[in-house]
Structure 1
Amino acid sequence: MHPQPPSRSFNQVCIDPSALHENFSKMQQRVGRDIRIMAMVKADAYGHGMIRSAVCFAGAGCDCFGVAEIEEGLELRQAGIQGQIFVLLGFQPSQEQLFFEYDLTPVVFTYQALELLSQAAVMNGKEMAFHLKIDCGMGRLGIMPSELEEFLARLKEFPKLSLAGIMSHFPMADDAQSTHTLAMYQQYKKVCMQSSQQPPALCHIANSGAALYFPKTSCDMVRLGISLYGYYPDGAKGAQLARDEKLVPAMSFTTQVVQIKSVPAATGISYGHTFVTEKETKIAVLPVGYADGFLRSLSNKAQVLIKGMRARIIGRICMNLCMADISEIPGVETGDPVVILGSQGAETITADEIAEWMGTISYEVLCLFGNNNDRNYN
C-alpha cells in the first residue's frame, strides 16, 4: 500500500485575517462612521477568498458586499453571510428569480433587466429595490446621464420596482492630482439631484482611490476593494498621499527550493537561453511558474527572498518551474522556504513591486497568486 501524498502544494498563499479586519476598520475611520462601506469581494475577494474575507469584514462591522455575478451572491448567502449583497454585472434571463430567493440587490443598466425583474416581482408579490448604474465618464456599464430623464419616466411602466440607489464609478480616482475626478463628481451630483425622490435614493460613486484622496466624494456609501486587501490604488506612492492610513497587505506567497546546482560560465538557463551565465553560478530551482500566476513576463526581472536576501530570477519562467541566482546567498539548502510575495527577515517584496516588474497593477498580481494556488489562513 502506497503512503498518501502530502496534501499541500509546494506553493502556498497565506492570508492574514487580522490584516483584513484592520484595513476595514481603518477605512471606516477614514470615511467616517456615518458612511457605509460596500466591501468588494468579487473575483474571490481579489484572490483572498470570498467567503473567508466576507466573514472577516463582517466581523469588523461590514453589512454590505459587492460581487460581479449572481453566482457569487448565492455562494455568500449559502455560506451564511448576512447583510446586503449587490450584484454589479447584471444577470442573465431566467436568473431574476434568484434575487428574490436569496435576497440580493440588482444593479440595473438596461430596460430588459427592468422588465425581467418587474415580472418576477409581480409573480412573487414582492417589491424589488434596485440600484441604477450611470456612466458619468467611465465608458463602461451604465446608462448615459442624458438618458436618465427618459429612464425615470419609463420606470413607471414596470410595477413593483423601486429605485433605491444611483451609482457611478470613477475612472481616474487613483490619481490624487486628477482634476477629472472632481469634475465627474459634479456631474454625478447633478444626476442625483435630477433623480431626487422620496425617500431619496442612496448615492455612491467613490472607490478606494476616491475614499483615500477625494474624501468629499464619499456620498452615502463607498465601494472599497484594493484598500481592504492592504494596497493603495496608485501603488506605493499612495501610502504617502494617504498619510495616516497605514494599510496592511493581507497576502503572502511562498514556495521552496527543490534543487540546488552550480553551473559553469557560459551556461544557458531555461528556454531560449535568454540568460547566459558570465561566471560559475549557483542556482536554486523553484517549483513555481506561470501556471501558478508567476508570469513569464517576470523572466529575468523578478526577485524572490531566500534566507532573508534577494535572489534574482534568471532565464525564462516555465509553466511550473523557475530558477534563481543564489551565488551570493550562503547556506541555502533544498527545502528552504522562498518568499515570492511578502517578508522574510528585513526584506519585503510587495505586490506593487511585482506589478512594476510585470508592467501591471497590484490588483492583477493578487488575483493571479490568490486564484491559482492553495490558500491558507493564519
Structure 2
Amino acid sequence: MTGEKGNNRVVVDLAALRENYRNLTAFIKDSARILAVVKSDAYGHGLVRVAQCLQEEGVEVFGVAEVDEGVALRQAGITGEIIVLLGVMPDEYHDVVQHRLSPVVFDRGTLITLSDYAGEHDWVVPIHLKIDTGMGRLGIMPHELDMYLSFIQAMTGIHLVGLLSHFPMADAPEREATDLQNRHFASLAAKNRLLFPGVRLHAANSAGLINHPASHYDLVRPGITLYGCSPCPEKQGDGQPLLQPVMAFHSRVVQVKEVPAGYGISYGHLFKTERVTRLAVLPVGYDDGYLRKLTGRAHVLIHGQRVSIVGRICMNACMADVTDLAWVEVGDDVVLMGRQGDGIITAEEIAGWMDTIHYEVLCLFGSMNRRTYLDGSA
C-alpha cells in the first residue's frame, strides 16, 4: 500500500537504499555485478519504487519470485534482465515471452514445454538452470547436470544464460560447509562452461556476498543487505559493508489517559499497573503486522525515549506506558522501528522479540501498512 493518510505508515528511505547499493558494489570483486533481489515486494519496501531507484543507480539484473512481479516491473519501465527465481508454469509462458523474462528452470518438463512454446512464437527464452548443491529446495541434483545440458543443447526455443545454486549456511560462523558447497558448484560450473561459454554463474546470497568472496562469480544476489540489514547481525561492522536501514515504521498517539494502581490493561489483564500510570494508546496491532507475540516484550520510541508496550497487543491497538515522559499528547509521532532522536529500534531487535528473523519483520510491516517514500535523489 502507498499513500499519505492513516495513523500507521512505513517510511522507505531511498537515499539509504542507494547508499547500500553503492557500498555493496564496492565490496564485491570487480568482475561481479549485482543481481538485485526485489522479490516479495522488495522485502516489503515496494517492488516498483525500489527497482526504479536501483535502475537509476545502474542495476541491470533483477530477481523476482513470481512472473507477475516481472510483468509489473516491465510495465513500470524496468529494462534490464528480470530473472524469475521460483520458475514458471505453462499458463505463464505467454507473459514470459511477451515481457522478455528469464525464468530459472529445474525440471525437464518445463524445458520441453517452454522451448516448444517459445518456438511457436518465434522467440528464444533465456533461462537459468538451478542446481541443488545442498539447499534441499529447488534445483536439479548434481548428477543430473550432464543430462540437462544435453537436453538444453538439443532445444531451439531456449538459451542457457545462467547457472546458479543457493547456500543454506553462508551466515554460519563455521565456513566449511559453504566452502565445500561452493567448490562443488565451481566444479560443476566448469563442465557447463565448456559447452556454454559465456554463461553467467551465481551462487552468493547476501551472506555469501559478505562471508564467502570466492562465491562472487559473475553475479551476486543481495536481498536483505540492499535493505540495510546484515544477514549476520552478530558480526555487523566486522569487515562487512556499511549498511543503513531503509525501512522505518511509525504510528501516532490517539489517546492519553491516566489509570490507577492495580488497573488491568487489555485482554486477559495479563498486565496490571503497580502505580498511577499514564497510557498512550496507539492504533497499531497484529492486523498491521505488530504481532501478539510482541506482548510483554516490545518497546517503542516517543519523543526519542524508549517506553514499554504493556498489556496484550490487540488487533488494531496497543498501549504504551508513558508515565515517565514529561509530556505526551494526541498526535505525537511514535516509532515502532527506526530512529527518533537518540533512540533506535532495529528490525533485528524486533525479530528477537518475535522469535523470528529480521527478514520476516520487514516483509510483515511493509506488506501490511501504507508506504511513503523519502526520495533521496541528488
* Aligned-partner SS, 1:74: helix
Quote the residue 2:91 is aligned against: 94
Task: Tell me which of 141, 162, 165 is aligned to 2:162.
Answer: 165
Counterparts in 2 of 1:108-257, with a 5 A limit? 108-196=105-193, 197-235=195-233, 237-243=234-240, 245-257=241-253
Quote the residue 1:294 is aligned against: 290
Quote the residue 1:373 is aligned against: 369
Alpha-carbon distance in structure 2 between the residues aligned to 1:282 and 1:355 = 27
Alpha-carbon distance in structure 2 between the residues aligned to 1:49 and 1:241 = 30
Figure out how many residues of one structure are paired with residues of the other and give that number. 371
Quote the residue 2:310 is aligned against: 314
Task: Tell me which of 309, 319, 325 is aligned to 1:323.
Answer: 319
Cα offset, 1:198, TM superposition: 3.8
Q: Is the 8 A contact 2:118 2:157 kept in 1?
A: yes
Cα offset, 1:161, TM superposition: 1.9
Report the residue type matching 1:132 in the other structure: L
Alpha-carbon distance in structure 1 between the residues aligned to 2:262 and 2:174 = 49
Quote the residue 1:348 is aligned against: 344
Cα offset, 1:266, TM superposition: 1.6
Cα offset, 1:58, TM superposition: 1.0
Cα offset, 1:23, TM superposition: 0.5
Alpha-carbon distance in structure 2 between the residues aligned to 1:284 and 1:230 = 30
Cα offset, 1:327, TM superposition: 1.2
Alpha-carbon distance in structure 2 between the residues aligned to 1:251 and 1:31 = 24
Verify: 1:274 aligned to 2:256, yes or no. no
TM-score by length of 2: 0.95
Report the residue type matching 1:106 in the other structure: P
For structure 2, the 5+ residue unaligned runs are none
> After superposition, what is the alpha-carbon deviation per residue over 1:54-107, rounded to whole angstroms, capped at 9, x for unaligned?
011111111110000000000000001110000011122221122221011010
For structure 1, the 5+ residue unaligned runs are 1-5
Alpha-carbon distance in structure 2 between the residues aligned to 1:339 and 1:208 = 27
Cα offset, 1:351, TM superposition: 0.4
Identity, in percent, stands at: 47
> After superposition, what is the alpha-carbon deviation per residue over 1:227-282, rounded to whole angstroms, capped at 9, x for unaligned?
000010122x2322334x21011111110111111111221111111111122211
> After superposition, what is the alpha-carbon deviation per residue over 1:104-147, rounded to whole angstroms, capped at 9, x for unaligned?
10100011211221112211222222110111111100011011
Alpha-carbon distance in structure 1 between the residues aligned to 2:295 and 2:289 = 13
Q: Is the 8 A contact 2:295 2:313 kept in 1?
A: yes
* Aligned-partner SS, 1:82: coil
Quote the residue 1:3 is aligned against: none
